[in-house]
Amino acid sequence: MTITKETDVSRLYGWEHPDKMRAYRLEHKSFAKKDKVTTLQDAVSRGVKQGDYIVFGGMGSVRNPIAAVHEVIRQKIGDLTIGTKGSQHDWQLLAAAGNITKAEVSYGFADEVRGLARPARSAVESGRLKVLSETTNAGFQWRFTAAMKGLSFYPTRSSLGTDTLQYSGSKTIIDPFTNEQVELLPACYPDVAVIHVHRADRYGNCQIDGNVAEDIEIAHAAKFVLVTAEEIVHDEVIQNDPALTKIPYFVVDAVVETPYGSHPNQAPGLYSFDEDHWQVWLDASLTDENVEAYLEEYVYGSDDHYAYLEKIGGLRTLRQLEKIEKKLAPYPKVAKRRG
C-alpha cells in the first residue's frame, strides 16, 4: 500500500500494536467478580502514575471526574500527557496546577460560551506545556474506536488537506476500493482513563444517563480504568436491566463512590453547572497568583472530596443545583470570563 503523505512533524503517541494490547488484557484484566470499590486516594495512587497518558470521560464540562482530578493534583502526580478530546475544565485544572506537561489536542483552550481559558493557554505560550499533536473531535473518538476494535487504525475522510492532519500522527493512503485518498487515524491506548458515571455496582458495571460521549471506547481502550460513580448500587439494579450497562465490569480496575463528583460541572439529569463556583474559578483563572490561591483553597486545602463539597456550600448548594437541573429552580446567570 502506498502512503501518499506522511508527515515528519508529528509522531505517534498512545499507539500500540494490537497484539501487545491483547497480551496486556490477558495479563491484567479479569472476569472474576471482584469487589473493586475503594477510596479515591487509593484508586488514584494505584491508577495514575507519573508520566502516564491520561484521558477523562464525559465531554466539555459535562460529567467529568473533577473529584478525581482534584486528587491527582493533591497527590502531585506529574509529567502527565493528556488527550484533550473536547476537554475543558478537567484538564485545565491539571494544566493550571502543573501536573500536565504534554497534550494531544482536539479542543482544549476554551470553555465554549464562557470564553478562552487562560491557564492552559499561558502554559503553552510560556513553554511549560508542550502540544504534541493536533486532531479533531471525531479524530480522537475514532482513535479510541480503533483501540476498542483491536485495530491499529481507523479510516476517515475528515480533515484531508489540512494542517490539522499534518500534525495529527495520521497517515494518508489510497483507499483500495475508491482509489481516492483516505486518512488513517492511529489507535490510541491511554495508560489510564478516568470516567465519571451515574451508577455503578461494586464490580464496575456502569450505567450512564444521556450522552455517552466517547466513554465506551476509552473504557475499552485504556490500560487502567478508574470509575467514579455518583452512586454505588446493589448488584440487582444492574442485573435487572443489562441493556443500560454502558461499561462492563471486566474492563474496570477501580470503582469509587463519588457523589457530586463532577461539580462544578453538570451531571445530566442529576445536577446542574454551579455557575457561582464557575465564576469564582474564571475570575481566579486570570492570574497565576489567583490560580494558586484557588488551588490552595479548594484542592490542597480540602483533605478529600467531602471536605471540598463543604467548601463550595455543602448540601444547601448541592440541593439547589439538583433543583436547577430538574427545572424546579430558575437557571442563574451564566458565568463568563471577565477581562
Partner 1 sequence: MATDIEKMIIAASRILPEEAAVYVGTGMPLLASVLALNTHAPDLLLVYEGGGVGGKPTGRLPIQVSESLTYENGVTVGSMDYVMSLAQAGWIQYGFLGGAQIDQYGNLNTTVIGDWDQPKVRLPGSGGGADIASLCEKTIILMHQDKRKFVGKLDFLTSPGYLSGPGEREKVGLPVNTGPYRVVTQIGVYGFDDKTKQMTLLHLFEGFTLKDVQENSSFPIAIAEDWNYLSPPTAAELEALQSLDPDGVVLA
Binding site for partner 1 (CB under 8 A): 58-63, 84, 86, 105-110, 112-114, 116, 120-121, 124-125, 127, 131, 134-139, 141-142, 145, 156-165, 167, 172, 175, 180-183, 210-217, 266, 268-269, 273, 325, 327, 331, 333-334, 336
Extract the C-alpha cell encoding 1.
500500500
Q: Shortest gap between Cβ of 260 and partner 1 (angstroms)?
A: 16
Closest to partner 1 by CB, 168 vs 302, is 168
CA distances for 139 relative to 90, 142, 146, 155, angstroms: 20, 5, 11, 10
Q: Shortest gap between Cβ of 12 and partner 1 (angstroms)?
A: 18
CA–CA separation, 155 and 282 (whole Å):
38
The cell 465531554 sits on which residue? 59
Closest to partner 1 by CB, 14 vs 60, is 60
Q: Shortest gap between Cβ of 74 and partner 1 (angstroms)?
A: 26
Q: Shortest gap between Cβ of 195 and partner 1 (angstroms)?
A: 13
Extract the C-alpha cell encoding 305.
472530596
Closest to partner 1 by CB, 139 vs 169, is 139
Grouping H, G, I as helix, E, B as strand and the rest as coil, residue 330 is coil
CB atoms within 10 A of CB 26: 8
Extract the C-alpha cell encoding 276.
457561582
Residue 160 near residue 180, CB atoms below 8 Å: no
Q: Shortest gap between Cβ of 55 and partner 1 (angstroms)?
A: 13
Closest to partner 1 by CB, 301 vs 332, is 332
Closest to partner 1 by CB, 44 vs 321, is 321
The cell 501536573 sits on which residue? 99
Closest to partner 1 by CB, 17 vs 336, is 336
Nearest by Cα to 99 from 157, 38, 56, 159: 56
Q: Shortest gap between Cβ of 272 and partner 1 (angstroms)?
A: 9
- Which helix or strand (DSSP H or E) is residue 305 part of? helix 305-311
